[in-house]
Structure 1
Amino acid sequence: MRKIVIVLAVLFLLGGNVSAHAATLELPKPTGRSPVGVTELHLVQHGRADPWFPTETRQVMVSVWYPALPIGRRAPYVAPALAKHYETEPPIGVRTDWGSVRTHSYVNAPALPGRFPVVLYSPGVGNSRTMGTILAEELASRGYAVVTVDHTYETAIAFPGGQVKTDKAFDLPYEDPAEIEKAKQRLMDAREHDVRFVLDSLGGLKMLDLSRVGMVGHSGGGVTASRVMQVDRRVDAGINMDGWFSFGYNRPELGVDRPFMFMGAASSPQMPPLYGKPRTHLSEPDWQRFWQASTGWLLDLNVPAGRHYTFTDAQWLLPQLGGDHTGFLGTVDPARAIDAQRAYITAFFDQHLKGRPQPLLTGSSPRHPDVSFIR
């Protein structure tokens, strides 16, 4: 099982030793009108046993990003306890100074007046919710409340009081291939339950308009989005960014009956089943099954020069730290790739959560030459 996820957990695979550039790492500024605030929530699901350690109660950490007054200090990109953890236990043996990196969002800043449509974000399998920070800040600056979710025991997570829970799920003894498949299924089932629990827990935040909810995810998070939509009518629209359905059984043949968008790239050599070919509903059998079974509004976009992690913060950070040594980003220009994702994802939710038709979603745009419409 460790071999399955180690290739997926590449957020912090950004150099050999502590990088001389780490202190100058910067995220791109959000382009919307509103400053952004962020707050963390520690959510405990009483009555639900943790799927990996049944003697524990399931608990998750989330961040809520929202339009806010620019008051206070800018939030760290990585929680201090987690940055300290990476000093002694760097993921995949890699060290870099994450404690010095800041977001553009203000910690616990007062929200702007009003109630904002909600977008849930689930990261890829084995990845941190941190990987969606650039997208979260962008959407929040444009009038959304974005809830980024960590799935406990898939990755190292900082909890209140400085406690760090690590990716212990993948250290369990999996020797039988059948047990590995069961673990994959347990992982995806746990993600679906996590997101629905998070949605249950947001009612106390008055700034959230829970009558308008979307979900976006990368890799396994994108499949989590479709799974949640299939069982929870509260989610009105979803996006799968380069996630394949074959990690466990994830019901592609059921499709969805509400708006859904695929965003794919050329599959990384490490990422089955396409090996370098574009992941689209025309080339990926499970995407095709999902597409044909769905009855809602659909769109399939592809970034042919991108790779699997083009749809994460790694697309922006890796080039700042000496380039992509992982093969997960492809050759697409980082700034153009980030701009395109911001534009299309915002347009999708503007159209389907805010009811504002978006010409950008109707065909190719000269402003975003790296993006292909798959018909």
Structure 2
Amino acid sequence: MNPTSTLMLNAYSRKRLEIRYSRESGRMNKNTKTVWLGGAAAAAMVAAAGYVYRSRRQGKSPNPLRRLFPVFALPEPTGPYAIGTFEEHLVDGSRQENRRGTLPEGDGPREVPLTVWYPADTSAAAAAQPERYPAALGECLSLVFGLPRRWFGHLSRVSTHAFRRLPLSGGESAYPVLLFSPGIRSTRFQSLTLVEELVSRGYIVIGMDHPYTSAEVKLQGGRAAAYVHEPSFAHSSELHAYNVGEIAVRAADARFVLDTLERWNAAGSGHPLSGRLDLERAGLLGHSYGGATAVQALAADERFAAALSLEGGFWGEAPSGPLERPFMYLLTGETERALDPNDPKREKVVYPEWTEEAEQAMGSSRSDTLFAVVEPFYHQSFTDVAYVSPRLFAHKATPERTSEITRAYAVAFFDRYIKSIRSELLGQDSEAFPEVRYDRKLTRIADQEKETRA
């Protein structure tokens, strides 16, 4: 893994994880001799038996790993709609797959697996069984943090709030659409707490996976497309150029998905969503590599009305020209500190060009821009990992507060720029969320500026 290929150095999170896990598990150093004899062995057996007994009496799992990886409950969505879901598998015959440059052009057409979440009738949900958390998230976390996949087997016992193939709600004649792009080595299921909230508020969310930069995904015929590590580069400029190409592929995926949605929406298409997609109100959001995908697609395709980047990069057209449509960027406090070149404990968590490109892309925008720092967050806070293991991944904010902050600002942004619903959370600090502060240099909302001048 080349640590500068993403905005956040995953090795940093992994380092903290290894330290904390060793404390929890009592793992011995390799140089420590351990000899269990006689009374020591008996004492260990008694202690283990006592732990199992107490756990069973308290209704908890006797497996010590469950202390680190508990079966959890996702936060309830707050909107009025139930959540329906189905999957689609798209094949783009106009593009050939090259597996991130590791094989010659012509390795078959590009494929884009999708999950669609949509507003559904609450009455139909009452009699249905919810979907379980997909195994893909465990595969992703295993890849990102270097942990055994079997540790995440408990995710299959976690219920989501989504129900397969429910009737689309008749609350609105058509619903705005948001495309979601995950981080590198990640999955379209990485941020279900956020996706579910947006859908409950009346958005159709399309989760995309990007073969060979996402974690392992299934292709046609059951073939597996596993993440392919990027090559090593001697200079950051070479890696930067490589990432520009990678994000261009992902942005092309987003544009292809939007093309497909237009065909689904056409009269007589026969698709269940025919006529129900409001593609005049289409947006994008993504995390890390997915955030870079979102801003690049926004810059390249005028059909997208707005985009939200959850700590992504700026690889592609976005830094080279002014943004024409609204854009919001959320940065974590941990990464902000890493940007300080004078910090003696500075971690190399961002690529060298990030600051210049962020200021150029947002400072030259011809539309509204919002840039805010979420102080207690670190890079993975925008995913569901804090719920997967609060002890290891929650860090400075509880899982509940983490999802509350992310959901509130994502909803506020898209409600304002997709549904034209104003929000007091945008452009100004809020007493309800003291963890979030705006960068005044990179935040500009035309309506608020007019009110200030008046």
TM bracket (short chain): 0.7 to 0.9
Query: Higher helix proportion, which one?
Result: 2
Unaligned runs of 5+ in 1: none
Query: Do 2:322 and 2:362's aligned partners in 1 also have CA atoms closer than 8 Å?
Result: yes
1:243 matched to which residue of 2? 312
- Could you report, residue by residue, the CA deviation over 1:300-329 in whole angstroms, capped at 9, with x for unpaired residues? 11112211112221233331xx223xxxx6
SS in 1 for 2:163: strand
The aligned runs of 1:138-149 (5 Å cut-off) are 138-149=197-208
Aligned-pair CA distance for 1:126 = 2.1
- Could you report, residue by residue, the CA deviation over 1:83-103 in whole angstroms, capped at 9, with x for unpaired residues? 897899997232321332321
SS in 2 for 1:258: coil
Counterpart of 1:46, as a letter, is G
Aligned-pair CA distance for 1:73 = 2.5
SS in 2 for 1:130: coil
SS in 2 for 1:360: coil
Pick one of 131, 146, 168 that aligns with 1:111: 168
- Could you report, residue by residue, the CA deviation over 1:212-248 in whole angstroms, capped at 9, with x for unpaired residues? 0111111121121111111111100111111132xx5
Query: Could you tell me how far apart the structure 1 residues matched to 2:88 and 2:158 are?
Result: 21
Pick one of 141, 157, 160 that aligns with 2:217: 157
2:110 matched to which residue of 1? 58
Query: Could you tell me how far apart the structure 2 residues matched to 1:90 and 1:373 are?
Result: 30
Q: Label 1:26 to 1:61 Cα distance change in 2 as closer, same or farther (>3 A).
A: same
Q: Label 1:270 to 1:20 Cα distance change in 2 as closer, same or farther (>3 A).
A: farther
Pick one of 191, 196, 200 that aligns with 2:259: 200
SS in 1 for 2:115: strand
Q: Label 1:40 to 1:217 Cα distance change in 2 as closer, same or farther (>3 A).
A: same
Query: Could you tell me how far apart the structure 2 residues matched to 1:277 and 1:267 are?
Result: 12
Query: Could you tell me how far apart the structure 2 residues matched to 1:337 and 1:89 are?
Result: 23
Unaligned runs of 5+ in 2: 26-62, 265-272, 441-454
1:350 equivalent to 2:415? Answer yes
- Could you report, residue by residue, the CA deviation over 1:178-233 in whole angstroms, capped at 9, with x for unpaired residues? 87555423311111111111111113132321110111111121121111111111
Superposition TM-score, scaled by structure 1 size: 0.84
Aligned-pair CA distance for 1:4 = 5.2
Query: Higher strand proportion, which one?
Result: 1
Query: Could you tell me how far apart the structure 1 residues matched to 2:407 and 2:379 are?
Result: 17
Query: Could you tell me how far apart the structure 1 residues matched to 2:133 and 2:80 are?
Result: 21
1:35 matched to which residue of 2? 82
Query: Could you tell me how far apart the structure 1 residues matched to 2:416 and 2:210 are?
Result: 29
SS in 1 for 2:161: strand
Aligned-pair CA distance for 1:51 = 3.3
Aligned-pair CA distance for 1:163 = 4.1
Aligned-pair CA distance for 1:150 = 0.7
Query: Could you tell me how far apart the structure 1 residues matched to 2:77 and 2:208 are?
Result: 20
1:258 equivalent to 2:310? Answer no
2:184 matched to which residue of 1? 125
Pick one of 281, 294, 298 that aligns with 1:225: 294
Query: Do 1:217 and 1:224's aligned partners in 2 also have CA atoms closer than 8 Å?
Result: yes
1:285 matched to which residue of 2? 356
Pick one of 307, 330, 335 that aligns with 2:400: 335
